[in-house]
Amino acid sequence: GNYVEIDHGYGYITRYTHLDDILVHYGQTIKEGQPIASVGMSGGVIAPHLHYQVLKDGEKMDPVRFMLSGLTTENYDQMVKASKKINQSLD
């Protein structure tokens, strides 16, 4: 499927997969918060969703600590509410 990898330096890479429209190109410098793609259904999936991975020196890390960094209480509450919807996945 369609994916984007972002090299953050210091051995950190984030990978976003199952994308639809990719809005960035190889070698482009991006800024925090800048849209990089839209969620899609690439790779034979059955519903639109996003896979988010964090790698450090090629080893997969638990992405939760990066996902929660900088969230406001309101953002966290919205995420918890969304996670309780039927057929909702936050993988």
Percent of the chain with pLDDT over 70: 95
Q: How far apart are CA 34 and CA 41, in angstroms?
A: 21
- CA 60 from chain centre, in angstroms, equals 14
Between CA 58 and CA 83 the distance in angstroms is 29
Which of 6-20, 44-58, 61-75 is predicted with the least confidence, judged by mean pLDDT? 61-75
pLDDT at 24 over 60: yes
> What pLDDT shows up at residue 69?
78
Residue 62 has a pLDDT of 87
- Three-state SS for 90? coil
| Torsion of the alpha carbons at 4, 10, 67 and 37, rounded to the nearest 10 | -20
Task: Assess whether pLDDT exceeds 90 at residue 36.
Answer: yes
Residue 41 has a pLDDT of 85
